[in-house]
Amino acid sequence: MEAVVLILNDVDLLHEVLRAWDEIGVRGVTVLRSTGLGRIGNALYRDDTPLFPSLSELLERDELHHFTLLSVMESNRVEQIIEITQQITGPLTAPNTGVLFTLPVGRVIGGM
């Protein structure tokens, strides 16, 4: 088993990625709205940013977030996930597309 984590930069592609993952049988995807330090750092230098912004104020701005998708699946499905994801996002090695990584899962308790 492996955990697949996709940080998707283009928020407009979320539903397409989820639909594609569902079509190949991926179940139990958790979607988190997230942001990275690079995006927050750039926002700190904007003219319309308050002098002392709170993190919640920074996260409320639509242009600052991306989505992080998490799922656990059989290891033999990972290459298929990478391939179908890149058909939608373009090569993840290109700037501003996203990051996908996997982690080995030693044990899963609960329904998937």
- The reported pTM is 0.75
Inside any domain, residue 109: no
Inside any domain, residue 58: yes
- Quote the domain boundaries for residue 19: 2-104
pLDDT top residue among 67 and 44: 67
Tell me how many domains the chain contains. 1
Backbone angles phi, psi at 42, to 5 degrees: -65, -35
Inside any domain, residue 94: yes
Inside any domain, residue 17: yes
User: How is residue 22 written in tokens?
Assistant: 């569902």
17: how many CB neighbours lie within 10 A of its CB?
Answer: 23
DSSP state of 32: E
Whole-number pLDDT of residue 106: 93
Inside any domain, residue 110: no
> What average pLDDT does the segment 41-46 reach?
52
Report DSSP letters for 87-106, one per residue: HHH--TTSTTSEEEEEEE-S
CATH number of the CATH domain containing 57: 3.30.70.120
Inside any domain, residue 112: no
Whole-number pLDDT of residue 99: 95
Inside any domain, residue 81: yes
